[in-house]
Each structure stands twice: as C-alpha cells, then as structure tokens.
C-alpha cells in the first residue's frame, strides 16, 4: 500500500512538473498555441525551407517559453543565417503577440526573444563533406544568437568556428544591412527611356 501511494504521488508530481493541468496550475489555451505555431511554421517551410521537428511549450501559471527545433538542407553563411534567424523570430513573435486569446497568457507581454528557444540543424552533405565552414547549427537561447560551423561536428578538429552575439545585435545587423541595400538600389537605379504610358500597336 505504501508503494502504491508513493507511486501515485510521484505520478502527480511528474504531471505538474511537465506542464500538465493540475488544480494549482492555471490552464493555458494549448490548442491556440499549437494553431499559431503550426500556421506560421507552414509558411516557414515553404518560404525559408525550415522543417519543424519538435515544438514544446513551457508554462506554470503563464506561458514562459516556447521551444522549436528545425532541420534544413540549405547551405548558408553567417550573414544569411543571421537574417534567417531574425526573420523567423520576429515573424513568430508578431503572430503570438497579435493573438488576442494568448495575449493574457504570456508571463510577460509582449512575448520577447528571451522567451523563445530556437534551434536549427543544417544537414546538407555539402557542409559535412566539402566545406565545413558553412553554418551547421543556429540557436537562439537566453536572448543570445549562436552560429556554429559544420566543423563543430568533427571531434578531431582542435578549434571550432562559431560566433555568438546578443539577439538585439543580430536584429540590428539585419535591419541596417537591408536598409543600406535598399538605399543603394534606389540611388543606383538605372533611368529608363520609357514614358509613363506607351502603347504599341499590334502588327497588321
């Protein structure tokens, strides 16, 4: 009997720690979280070639953290990886914070980068066997961005190539770089000889 009571108590504690609904835990709207994430991930799959493998939501009384793990076959460098991470994070945060059902369920509002854990594993054979200096792993954790080259998977390498920076700096780099690129294109746009409207008669 003692063993059965201990087993039941252990199971109830595991349920509480795992985020399951219990009488002292406020129930969150988990279907709505799933809907928002899956809807956004469908777009990321087609636009950014990111395939969602694992998604988790951590909460007590409120939603504390959303964790997403992806795989991709793309071959990219650090600048592209930074842009990919920023686009993914900013788009997801916008979807979450604009949702009226979830707004009151976040531990802080607006939900921010520190509340997300993002991991992207690049699985291209090009990175494994041809050029190990392409990005093999990207992470957002604790408000920091991490970019690791494929050589981090080679245990015989004495020095790994990686970069880490605060996420807000990653976002700054991406925003300023894109603004500079747009200004350059505007300033160097080639003039056209076409008038505003030209009508060409069809051949007889």
Average pLDDT score, the chain: 81
pLDDT of residue 127: 60
Can you tell me the distance from the alpha carbon of 139 to that of 162, in angstroms, rounded to the nearest whole number? Answer: 11
- Bridge-partner residues for 65, per DSSP? 58
**Residue (of 103, 93, 110, 94) closest to 32 by Cα position:** 103
Tens-digit pLDDT profile for residues 37-47: 999 999 999 99
Longest dimension (CA), the chain: 100
pTM comes to: 0.76
- What is the average per-residue pLDDT within 20-40? 75
Tens-digit pLDDT profile for residues 111-134: 999 999 999 999 887 766 677 788
């Amino acid at each position: 009997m003692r063993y059965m009571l201990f087993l039941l108590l252990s199971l109830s504690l595991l349920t509480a720690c795992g985020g399951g609904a219990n009488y002292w835990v406020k129930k969150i709207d988990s279907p709505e979280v799933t809907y928002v994430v899956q809807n956004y991930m469908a777009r990321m799959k087609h636009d950014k070639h990111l395939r969602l493998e694992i998604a988790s939501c951590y909460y007590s009384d409120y939603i504390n953290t959303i964790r997403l793990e992806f795989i991709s076959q793309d071959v990219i460098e650090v600048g592209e990886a930074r842009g990919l991470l920023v686009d993914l994070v900013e788009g997801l945060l916008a979807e979450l914070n604009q949702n009226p059902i979830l707004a009151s369920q976040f531990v802080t509002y607006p939900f921010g980068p520190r509340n997300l854990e993002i991991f992207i594993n690049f699985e291209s054979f090009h990175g494994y066997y041809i050029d190990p200096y392409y990005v093999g792993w990207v992470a957002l954790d604790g408000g920091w961005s991490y970019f690791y080259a494929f050589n981090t998977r080679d245990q015989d390498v004495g020095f790994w190539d990686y970069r880490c920076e605060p996420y807000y700096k990653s976002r700054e780099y991406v925003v300023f770089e894109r603004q500079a690129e747009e200004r350059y294109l505007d300033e160097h746009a080639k003039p056209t000889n076409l008038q505003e409207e030209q009508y060409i008669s069809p051949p007889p």
